Structure 1
């Protein structure tokens, strides 16, 4: 390793930053060439994974960025099934293009739970993008007016998990429900949805204002979904009574 400085410079040039800490130790005389190469490659793979997760986290635009499933306090989610959460944390639902629907009253932790599940997906090196339904509709309408709808639909169809928060909070007009249908149809069998709503699925038809489109959209979502129903008191209220942070 007499050319250590030259190798170090070449690694920097090739952006093999994972190699550098190992080269700096100068403690590899007792390793075979293959052992040393394996150590270098493992370090680079770990660094690449860390960078990818950081990039995916930033791109996801989650409402809550510092919540994780392994920190979940189940006493705040009395109706949540531990085994179901563990199963969903494995992310096989993403690989099979299934959806998750989280239903619960205001304050029961729907959005927080969605973000925790999203972090598990990101740690699995799969992409996530968070929207409130109202903001998603605004973006679809704007793209349609600017002639950029197909570009946006193509972008959204590449996301592994699209989170739609606050589903059903407002009635949709004719154009909005048409655009939402286009998005759901475009993503069918290409990715998963993670939907939160204050309203039971049986009440979702009302927000569309059109039974035919409602049936078409919901048929593509509901029958291919894992369902979570959150019950109990407002988490904010419980934490306030405990004297903890919300």
Structure 2
């Protein structure tokens, strides 16, 4: 630790006035005492921690996770196969986001899909990735609403800014023509720009019918399936406690 390093860290925090003081100290005394350096270091460490904590608060708020406190570590693997456990552990590492890959989590109601998706999202947030979660029906509704109000391009642009979009309960209902076109545009626009975490009660083979219109369905599903890991949960329904909500919910 020296004054040059400290000055750079102050500047990185945009504390340019403090950085100037450190620079003047360097000119006045090239070898300041360790007591002085420790005080300056304690100040910058405190500010770095403060900035990081505030960033986490902002990221968590913007993520709008259904279960904000969900942790992958709390997931009960039960009778899940070693292959599924491997894919979950691999997804926790997060490298797939840098490669713009996707995670698809399927399974019957109650197997923990949403909790797992929120757990993945929380790990990504801790690593500084931007995330936002949508329920499938809410996303389709908002896309339709923004199109009617003439703000669809702006909304689409906003959705493309997040490193990861979590879409919960995918393919829950069949789409109308305009809806499927907008869904395609969202998936196509985010291609090679960001990643998806998708949960669904239905397997890939059932998604085609829910999207409808073969050409668009093929285009959407190809862009997802060719770039995704598929975590197929087979376990029994679980009841998972989310204490922040003050109740126990079946996921």
The normalised TM-score by structure 2 is 0.79
The answer to whether the 8 Å contact 2:135/2:169 transfers is: yes
The answer to whether the 8 Å contact 1:79/1:229 transfers is: no
Distance in 2 between the 1:82 and 1:44 partners? 39
Distance in 2 between the 1:68 and 1:43 partners? 27
Task: Work out the number of aligned pairs and report it.
Answer: 216
Residue 150 of structure 1: which of 143, 150, 153 is its match?
153
Residue 209 of structure 2: which of 200, 203, 206 is its match?
206
Residue 30 (structure 1) shift: 7.3
Q: Which residue of 2 aligns with 1:4?
A: none
Q: Which residue of 2 aligns with 1:136?
A: 139
Distance in 2 between the 1:186 and 1:63 partners? 25
The normalised TM-score by structure 1 is 0.81
- Aligned ranges for residues 66-85 of structure 1 at < 5 Å? 66-75=69-78, 78-79=80-81, 81-85=84-88
Please report the RMSD computed on the Cα atoms of aligned residues, expressed in angstroms.
2.5
Deviations 1:39-77 (A, max 9, x none): 3222221221111111111111111111112333333x6
Distance in 2 between the 1:79 and 1:112 partners? 18
Deviations 1:85-135 (A, max 9, x none): 232212111111110000100111111100000101111111111111111
- Aligned ranges for residues 1-246 of structure 1 at < 5 Å? 31-75=34-78, 78-79=80-81, 81-236=84-239, 245-246=248-249
Residue 217 (structure 1) shift: 0.7
